[in-house]
A and B are shown apart, each in its own frame.
Chain A
Amino acid sequence: MSIIDNINKLFDHRIRLGIMSILMVNEKVNFKRLKELLEVTDGNLASHIKALEKAEYIIVEKSFIDRKPNTQYMATKLGRAEFKKHIEALENIIKKQMN
C-alpha cells in the first residue's frame, strides 16, 4: 500500500479542503461566513458543502434568527478523523519529497 492511499479524494479540492479547515477550528460556521472566507460563489460553495454532507463529514443545522433562515455547519467526528488522516498523508508525501 502506498502512502497515496491515505489521500482523501474528497479533500483533494481547494474549496472542500478549505471548508473542512475552517470547521476544524470553529465549532459552528454559517454559510455567509464560509463564502466570505473562501471567496466563492453561492452555487459553487453549496455544491461542495453537499458533497461533504453526503459523506457525513459535516452536518447542517438550520435555525431562524429574526425570521431569517440561518444555516450553520459543523464538522462531524468522522469528518475530523478523516481530515486528520488526510493531513498526515500530506505530511508523509512532503517528507518523502524532501528525501
Chain B
Amino acid sequence: MQKDYFKDISEIKDLMNRSSRFISLSGLSGILAGCYALIGAAVAYLYFLPPAINIDYSSTKEIKVNYIILDLILVATFSIVTAIILTMKKAKSNQEKIWDATTQRLLLNFMVPLAAGGVYILIQAYQNHFGLSAALMLIFYGLALVNASKFTIGNVQFLGYAEIILGLICAAFPGYGLYFWALGFGVLHIVYGTLMYRAEKKQ
C-alpha cells in the first residue's frame, strides 16, 4: 500500500491521451479559414452567381460552375495550407511530433466523409444539379468533423453538429445556399476559432 496509485492513474490517462489524440490544432487557423471562406463567398456572390431570387436551378447558363469550383478549391487550399503551417509551428513549440499514427488516423477519419461528399457534389454539379450543393457541403463537412473529433482534444464535434444543423436548415431554404454557406464556413469557423484561440491563450 506504499505505492502511489494516483501516479498510476495519471500516467494511464496521459498515455491514453497522447497515444490516441491529436492535440495541436490551432485556433488561429480556424479564424483564418473563416475569413478565406467569407472572401470566397463574396467573390462568388459578386462575380459568379446571379441574385438569389433569379436562380433557376434547371438552367446552367447563368451559373459559372467551373469558376465556382475554382473559387472553392482556392478557399480550401488556403485554409489547409494555413492550418498545416500553424499546426506545425504549434507542435514545434510544444515539442510534439506532428506526423504520427494519431495524425494519420485523424486525417483518414476526417477525409472519408468529406471526400465522399465532395465527389457526390461534383457529380451532381456536372449533371446540372446544384440546388443542394451548399447544404450538402455543410452536412458532409459537419459529419467529417464529428467523425474526426474522436481523435482530437477540444470540442470540434460541436462545430460539426452546428454545421450539420445549418446544412439541414439550408436544405429547407432553396436559393439561399450561398448565405448559409458563408454562415457555416465563414462565421462559424471564426466563432469557433476565436473560442479555441482564447482557450489556448489561457493555458
Q: Are A21 and B5 in contact (CB under 8 A)?
A: no
Instruction: Name the one of A26, A90, A94 contacting B19, with C-beta atoms under 8 angstroms.
Output: A26
Interface size class of A (residues with CB under 8 A): 20 to 34
Interchain CB contact under 8 A, B9 and A18: no
CB pair A25 B1 closer than 8 Å: no
Q: How distant is A29 from chain B, measured CB to nearest CB, in Å? A: 7
A22 touching B16 by the CB < 8 A rule? Answer: yes
Residues of chain B within 8 A (CB-CB) of A26 are 19-20, 101
Those of B1-40 within 8 Å (CB) of chain A: 1, 3, 5-6, 8-9, 11-12, 15-16, 18-20
Tell whether A94 pairs with B15 under 8 Å between CB atoms, given A25-B20, A29-B101, A33-B101.
Answer: no
A-B contact count (CB 8 A): 47
- Specify the main secondary structure of chain A where it touches its partner: helix
Roughly how many angstroms separate A33 CA and B15 CA in the complex, as a whole number? 12
Q: With a CB–CB cut-off of 8 A, which chain B residues contact A78?
A: none
Report whether A29 and B19 are in contact in the complex, using a CB–CB cutoff of 8 Å: yes
Complex Cα spacing A78 to B172, Å: 50
Min CB–CB distance B50 → chain A (angstroms): 50
Tell whether A14 pairs with B16 under 8 Å between CB atoms, given A4-B1, A33-B101, A93-B1.
no
Q: Are A87 and B1 in contact (CB under 8 A)?
A: no
Residue of A21, A26, A87 with highest tally of chain B CB at under 10 A: A21
Chain A contacts for B3, CB-based, 8 A: 12
Asked if A24 lies at the interface with its beta carbon under 8 angstroms from chain B, I say: yes
Using Cβ atoms and an 8 Å threshold, which residues of chain A touch B6? Answer: 94
**Residue positions of B touching A, CB distance < 8 A:** 1, 3, 5-6, 8-9, 11-12, 15-16, 18-20, 97, 100-101
